[in-house]
Amino acid sequence: MEYIRLRGLGVSPGIAIGGVQLTEKVVFTTRKEAISAEQVDGELNRLNGAIERTHEQLVRIRDNIKDIVGEEHAFIFEAHLLILHDKSLRMSLKEIIRKEKTRAEWAISRVHVKYQKLFESIDDEYLMQRKFDVADVLSKIYRNLETAEPGKKEEGKEKILVAHELLPSEAALRLSKGNVLAVALDMGGQTSHTAILARSLNIPTVMGLRNVSQRVKNGDVLIVDGTDGEVLINPPLAIQKEFASKKKKYDDYRKELKKIAKLSSKTLDKFEFLPLANIELPEEVPMAFSMGAEGIGLFRSEFLYLQSTTPPTEEAHYQIYSQIAKDAYPSPVYIRTIDMGGEKNLPHLKIEKEPNPALGLRAIRLSLRDREFFKVQLKAILRASAMGNVRVLIPMITELEEIEEVKMLFREIQQEMREKNIPFDENIPLGVMIEVPAAAALTDILVKEVDYISIGTNDLIQYYLAVDRSNELVSYLFKPLHPSVLRLIKFVIDTAQKENKDVTVCGEMAADTLSAIVLLGLGLRKFSMNPIFIPRIKNVLRSVEQKTAKEVVEEAMLLKTAQEIEECIIERILLKHPKAFLMEL
Ligand code: PEP
Ligand code: MG
């Protein structure tokens, strides 16, 4: 048996060694089969029947998943039901059958291509990945054009799943059975639902392997290394042994992380801090808490708009928000209103192409332009707030007037809800993101108008330093420890605390060990980050004194360059806490 080593994208860490189980995929037809004008109605009925069967299946799978792995993983099927019942998707299918007088298979194939192109043209990895959800629903309808029940059962033995691509609903169904050791796919990326699901179920997964599904056959021995993004087909015994010991190390490391997650969030001198999680999907809540999160510091609500080609209904918003609030209860959940526009565009948002999207119609600017659309989201957040642990967070605030307008809308909706006796939290905290330098400089004025602020350092630094960090030509200039960035952040934190207002940092700076110590030294207590970084940051902050961090930062801030600041902090922290960075995970 030939030994092959393939490199891909590790999307869920860990190592597994086992036998291959190939899955078959739906191949959409490339043949346009014509029908007569008289057959059109029959074909439309055939399509409707398939849609109905798909609906029944999705509802059944959703309910099963709820029972097997919990409600949070069933969400994906709600999203798929929304896609299935999306008006423009159905219209497109029917129109092709009517106009081109063809079989439903061809219509699905055409619509599939159209939507794949549409999503691929979006210059945002996360949004682009939503094409798999649409493909997933379309292939279900496709299978259901045959009246026979789809799906073959391969229960029982533990195996490594290999496929061209694993559509999200299939992933939820297969991965939840507890008999999948690992996953290896030709397609896919970091932010796909399948990747997120694999991470939260702790199943090592490598995607983007291009042709792994063609290079293996059932029964081959496979090693999947989700940490390093490698797949080894039929490795010799010596290599299997090497990976078995790597696997043991990783499994021990996971146990260590879990232990840290349970420890108290206090520095050596008992300064209490709060690790919070940034998430994009409701399914991530349990994983975030298992990593030691003590709340959801940032729920990026954009994802909801990506599930469908029409804007989500108030009910769809509400279901998601109340689910997160329930799963996180009683810990706080900060729901950020839609941060789209600019390069995160979607057809139903009807935004024209802008010459400079980063400085364009983004986030709150877009929401305030389309108020009816914004009110739907605010209403749903308010309804979910009845739970008592929801906060609302507004992105990209630039000036006071925007806060006033949001508050006016908020009051208007609250009044309507009172009149209709719809329960909500009368004291729901309203906060703003500080991510535009103008807002940062205006913190003393803005903070008086809100209950809390959250510093989005990703955008704040990019706008303050005028550096696009995804642009390789200038990304070397993106420096969170730039003296001017530190001065600005210090001003924001000090000002908020003077007003006794809560302040969080939810940009990636909070997940960087050195920067986290600096933020701690600046008096920050709430650190919100991708949950996988929580144990690492918790560990580092637990290994230092806040008092020392404060002294060190005060001294470092007198220096002139980011490099001097970085060196000074490392040196001075190590002097006092020699083990601080040794404990880094
Ligand atoms: C930020 O800008 O730091 C932030 C957290 O928002 P996002 O990364 O979603 O733009
Ligand atoms: Mg931002």
pLDDT value at position 154?
44
**Residue 193 pLDDT greater than 80, yes or no:** no
Task: Report which bound ligand comes closest to the CA of 460.
Answer: 1
What spacing in Å lies between the alpha carbon of 358 and ligand 2's midpoint?
10
Beta strands in 199-332 (DSSP E): 205-207, 221-225, 230-233, 274-279, 296-300
Q: Active site residue: 73, 112, 193, 317, which one?
A: 193
Q: Do domains 1-224 and 257-576 have the same CATH topology?
A: no
The tens digit of pLDDT for each residue in 448-460 reads 999 999 999 999 9
Structure tokens at 235: 């490795």
Ordered strands of the 4-7 beta sheet: 4-7, 230-233, 221-225, 15-22, 159-163, 180-185, 205-207, 9-12
pLDDT value at position 342?
62
Q: Is there a contact between 203 and 182 (Cβ–Cβ < 8 Å)?
A: yes
Least confident of 121-135, 506-520, 523-537: 121-135
pLDDT value at position 63?
81
156 vs 182, more confident: 182
Burial tier of 507 (Cβ tally within 10 Å: 0-12, 13-18, 19+): buried
Domain 257-576: give its CATH architecture: Alpha-Beta Barrel (3.20)
Q: Give the number of the atom of ligand 1 that is nearest the alpha carbon of residue 528.
A: 5
Tell me how long the chain is: 585
pLDDT value at position 224?
97
Every domain of the chain and the residues it spans: 1-224, 257-576
The tens digit of pLDDT for each residue in 368-419 reads 999 999 999 999 999 999 999 999 999 999 999 999 999 999 999 999 999 9
Q: Determine which residue's CA is closest to atom 8 belonging to ligand 1.
A: 458
**Residue 116 pLDDT greater than 90, yes or no:** no
Spell 120-138 as b/e; 16+ CB within 10 A means b.
Answer: eebebebbbbbbbbbbbbb
Q: Is 55 a catalytic residue?
A: no
- Which amino acid, residue 362? R
Q: Determine which residue's CA is closest to atom 1 belonging to ligand 1.
A: 456
What spacing in Å lies between the alpha carbon of 395 and ligand 2's midpoint?
7
Radius of gyration over alpha carbons of the chain, in Å? 25
Structure tokens at 577: 């806490």
Q: Does 458 contact ligand 1 (Cβ within 6 A)? A: yes
Task: Report which bound ligand comes closest to the CA of 508.
Answer: 1
Q: Does 530 contact ligand 1 (Cβ within 6 A)? A: no
Q: Does 536 contact ligand 1 (Cβ within 6 A)? A: no
**Residue 217 pLDDT greater than 90, yes or no:** no
The pLDDT of 330-356, averaged and rounded, is 79
pLDDT value at position 150?
39
The separation between CA 157 and the C-alpha centre of its own chain, rounded to angstroms, equals 31
Domain 1-224: give its CATH architecture: Orthogonal Bundle (1.10)
Q: Is 568 a catalytic residue?
A: no
The tens digit of pLDDT for each residue in 347-373 reads 566 667 788 888 999 999 999 999 999
Indicate the pLDDT class of residue 61, thresholds 50, 70 and 90: confident
CB atoms within 10 A of CB 157: 10
Q: Does 280 contact ligand 1 (Cβ within 6 A)? A: no
The tens digit of pLDDT for each residue in 72-93 reads 667 778 888 888 988 889 999 9
Q: What percentage of the chain exceeds 90 in pLDDT?
A: 59
**Residue 209 pLDDT greater than 90, yes or no:** yes
pLDDT value at position 58?
86
Q: pTM of the full predicted structure?
A: 0.72
